[in-house]
Structure formats: structure tokens, C-alpha cells
A = this chain, B = another copy of it.
Amino acid sequence: MNVISDKTIGRLSQYRRLLLQLKQQNVRHLFSHQLGEATGLTAAQVRRDLMVIGFTGSPSKGYHVEELYAKISNFLDGHDRQLGAIVGIGNLGLAIMGYFSGRRTSVDIVVAFDVDPTKVGRVIVGRRCYHLDEMETVCKQMNISVGIITTPADVAQGVAEKMARGNLKGILNFAPSILKMPKDIYIQNMDVSMVLETVAFFASRKK
């Protein structure tokens, strides 16, 4: 398989969501510029992305919605479902667990970790919560591959290092902290403050 960037994967995931909506509305075909318009991308970008997964449309009719949906799904989900662990059971951790409960996604969050004695040992939003010190052992036993960090910034690096020792391969980091990790672990940051600052900056200039 060719090298593929995380941005491409993100866009494919976006196309798939849109295609699902279209399928439900019984739309049968659409052109790259329409897919681009709906997702805020250029037609050229859409075509490049779909070429990566070996899909081309017909010049006269565009892409076949159902076939394209199947092709993208096959590509994105062409791996076993991954097991996930979440660390930091505050409001954000609870929100994330609630959000993904019962949802069909490619990660199943099956276990939680915290250091708070009122949480450790309990079952929270359907997941058993262990002490952070048990993470390495529990993650190895359960074959967890994806970690979600929803801790305060100052402990995030330590948590990520424990995740690495537990053999996790991908980390979604919500803590506003820049993680230093070996290259063989994939890290995606979601820094809510940073994004809100960006929105505020543009909002202030549009008034």
C-alpha cells in the first residue's frame, strides 16, 4: 500500500459521511466538484484523494454514490476493530465515553484509567476504571492499541509514555500539551483551546 497521509484519511472519512447522507436521500451519482463543494475542498483535491484508493468516476455521470461509499468503507475499515483506552475521567472523558457508547466506530473504548480513588475500581459509563499505575499491564493483557488522553496538560506526557510501554500504537490527545513520542506511535492532537482561539480571532475581524 502506498504511503497515505492522515489528512487524506480524514478527508476520506468526511466523504464517506456525506455519501451516506446522499445514499439515504437516494442520490445515485455526483461529480467531484459537488463532493468538493459540500466538504469545502477543491474538485482536484477530491479526485486526487479518490485516486489514492483507486476510484475514478465517469466523465458524464460522475461518481456512483453507492459504489464509492462501499469502496471508501472497505478502505477505511479494512482493518480489525481496534480496542481503546481512555485516561482522565473528568467531564471531557465522560463526554467522550458517552459519545462513543453504542456507536459503530472503528475503535471500541473498553477500559478507563484515572488516579482518583473515588473512580478507580468502579464501572463508569460501562467501562471499568483502573488506576493509572495498572495501565501498562491492563493494556497489554487486553491488547489495547488506541489511547485517548483527556487529562490536564501537565500529566499528559507521562500518560503517553505509559501508553507506549503498554504497546499502544495510536494516541488521540485532548490535553493542550505537545507530546514527544517515538515515531512508531501515531499521535493526533485535538486542542480545543487553540481552535477556539482561532475562531475568536476570525470572529473579531469579521465584525
Q: Within the assembled complex, what's the spacing in Å between the Cα atoms of A89 and B146? A: 28
The chain B residue sitting closest to A108, CB to CB, is B200
Counting chain B CB atoms within 10 Å of each CB, which of A80, A196, A200 scores highest? Answer: A200
A-side interface residues, number (CB < 8 Å):
61
What is A's interface to B at a CB cutoff of 8 Å?
A: 6, 9-10, 13-14, 17-18, 38-40, 76, 79-80, 82, 84, 90-92, 94-96, 98-100, 103, 105-107, 145-146, 148, 168-172, 176, 178, 180, 184-186, 188, 190-207
- Asked whether B196 lies within 8 Å of A172 as measured between CB atoms, the reply is yes
Which secondary structure dominates chain A's binding surface? Answer: helix
- Asked whether B18 lies within 8 Å of A178 as measured between CB atoms, the reply is yes
Chain B residues within an 8 Å CB radius of A205: 79
Q: Within the assembled complex, what's the spacing in Å between the Cα atoms of A106 and B196? A: 8
Chain B residues within an 8 Å CB radius of A17: 176, 178, 194
A-B contact pairs, 17 of them (CB 8 A): A13-B197, A14-B194, A91-B95, A106-B201, A145-B200, A145-B203, A145-B204, A146-B199, A146-B200, A168-B203, A169-B203, A169-B207, A170-B199, A170-B200, A184-B206, A188-B199, A190-B195
